Amino acid sequence: MEQGEISLSEREFSRIKSRVYKVAGISLSDAKRTLVVSRLSKIVRALDLSSFDDYVDYLEKGASASDGQDFVNALTTNLTRFYREDHHFDHLKTYVGALMSERPRGQRLRIWSAGCSTGQEPYTIGMDLLNAFPELKRWDFKILATDIDTAVIAKAARGIYPENELSGLSGERARPFQKLSDGTVQVPQAARELVSFKPLNLIAEWPMKGPFDAIFCRNVAIYFDKPTQGAVFGRFGKLLAPEGFLYIGHSENLGSGGEGFRLVGKTIYQSKRMNKREAA
């Protein structure tokens, strides 16, 4: 155990697992024990509590919303990067190009990045599409980016990253970033203006009505159990536009939520609901 870490009994670990499952749908495996100790010890100490049992009691009985949020924020895994699983962005470009030729200028085009972490995914969507279609600004095009973790949402909204986030990107992909005087880089303003970041728990109510032309929910459902995955993917089906696309992570599948979708590419699913002109 590192200095400052608090010991975690089996019973305490199981209480923490139940709590994070209940509030966030996150299923922590036994392998996450060390992670739980290292991430939560600091919070327990800061609250002046002496054990994880006391901490869970506190969360269950009258902790503030912000203490409850700190618990969730500490237990999420936020790994992400620009242009991750980039075959999705090539597919999206072809699809958005087709929508732009079907829909007159000024019409609505919507994309949702669900579980967006620190923002690299929705910004990649914005930058890549603006690069391919500079005229996209003439449509009512917006990207909604959501995550349960309020700390990553706050970072994402700034759009500022350490320069090494760009290592591995081609010159063409790295060029639009603005270099700031402190050595960091910022997502270009035109792409930042396309994205709205909001906190949202995928296992709670969703205030949005949709429809979304495309939904990205990649490397998020891996933290859920099968019933939760199926339920969340099934709900995406209801918010997608007819024939809209759902992009998921490389190790994920739709499970029981896949009824309304057909697989059209590697981890790319299309809503089986048809546009009225074709259904007629």
Beta bridge partners of 198: 146
Which of 70, 128, 149, 165 binds ligand SAM (CB under 6 A)? It is 149
Concerning whether 140 is annotated as a catalytic residue, the answer is no
If binding is defined by CB under 6 A, does position 115 make contact with ligand SAM? yes
Q: Is 76 annotated as a binding residue?
A: no
If binding is defined by CB under 6 A, does position 218 make contact with ligand SAM? yes
Q: What distance in Å separates the CA atoms of residue 257 and residue 276, rounded to the nearest whole number? A: 24
Q: Is 92 annotated as a binding residue?
A: no
Q: What distance in Å separates the CA atoms of residue 8 and residue 13, rounded to the nearest whole number? A: 6
Beta bridge partners of 105: none
Confirm if 77 and 110 have CB atoms less than 8 A apart: no
What are the helix and strand counts (H, E) for the chain?
11, 10
Concerning whether 39 is annotated as a catalytic residue, the answer is yes
Q: Which is nearer to ligand SAM, 139 or 224 (CB)?
A: 224
Which of 20, 24, 28, 130 binds ligand SAM (CB under 6 A)? It is 24
Q: What distance in Å separates the CA atoms of residue 266 and residue 87, rounded to the nearest whole number? A: 8
Of all helices (H) and strands (E), which one includes residue 190? Answer: helix 189-192
Which among 70, 128, 147, 213 is annotated as catalytic?
A: 147
Of all helices (H) and strands (E), which one includes residue 150? Answer: helix 150-158
Tell me the window of 144-152, 175-183, 206-214, 262-270 that interacts with ligand SAM (CB under 6 A): 144-152
Q: Is 218 annotated as a binding residue?
A: yes
Q: Which is nearer to ligand SAM, 100 or 200 (CB)?
A: 200
Confirm if 252 and 229 have CB atoms less than 8 A apart: yes
Largest CA distance in the chain: 68
Which among 33, 39, 81, 103 is annotated as catalytic?
A: 39
Which residues are designated catalytic? Answer: 39, 147
- Binding site for S-adenosyl-L-methionine, residues? 78, 80, 84, 121, 147, 201-202, 218-219
What residues make contact with ligand SAM under the rule CB under 6 A?
24-26, 76-80, 84, 115-117, 121, 147-149, 152, 201-203, 218-220, 223, 249
